[in-house]
Amino acid sequence: MPARRILPPSIDANDIDDTMRRVPALVLLLILAGCGFHLRGVGVEAPFQSFHLEAPQHSQFAWELRQTFRIAGASEVTSMADADVTLEILDERDLQRAVSTTGNARVAEYEIEQGLLYRLRDGTGEIISEPDWLSRTRVFRVDRDNLVSNSEEQSLIQRELRTDLCQSVLRMASAAVKNRTTPAGADAG
């Protein structure tokens, strides 16, 4: 005669099986959280409360920068005078060039480059970070049999590069503001 599990009437055997399936995922999450793992961009807090963004009308980076700074805890204001930090987008770059070809003289790989020239000012208009050029590049292989996939991959790569650049701008702005607010010699001792 097989052994029978005796469960209280309020617990169903299926509930226990469901719980046992979730335990490994929970253990993995706890291990990842315990070792300090976090997604890139998550947990970055801006050391300023408000920001103002000055960007060209058709800027590819403006929306992404606004989102990045908001997620970091800063709110956008409409005037430079009301902002703790003003971010000025001075120039943008979005380039694509062929880096290799096939034997038939067709493009085999493209290099995509996204770049951003920016400057930071404080609430008084004083420059806290001179103009700085950031750029990111990525190479992707062209699949001649699936042109739709190539277009989608290119768009995805461009979005990832923009996101990475915006995260870098946030880190640079945070460092500039922290360096500005830290009294000289505060790190010593």
In sequence order, the 6+-apart residues with CB closer than 8 A to the CB of 128 are 85, 120, 121, 122, 176, 177, 180
Task: Please report, for the chain, the start and end positions of each structural domain, with discontinuous segments joined by +.
Answer: 50-181
pLDDT digits over 139-184, tens only?
988 887 887 888 898 899 999 999 999 999 999 999 888 887 665 5
CA pseudo-torsion sign 82, 180, 73, 57: positive
For residues 49 and 75, is the Cβ–Cβ distance under 8 A?
Answer: yes
Question: Which residue bears the tokens 């956008």?
Answer: 76
Closest CA to 166 of 189, 122, 135: 135
In sequence order, the 6+-apart residues with CB closer than 8 A to the CB of 62 are 53, 55, 56, 89
**pTM passes above 0.75:** no
CATH of domain 50-181: 3.30.160.150
Residue 1 has pLDDT above 70, yes or no: no
Of 15-24, 71-80, 82-91, the least confident: 15-24
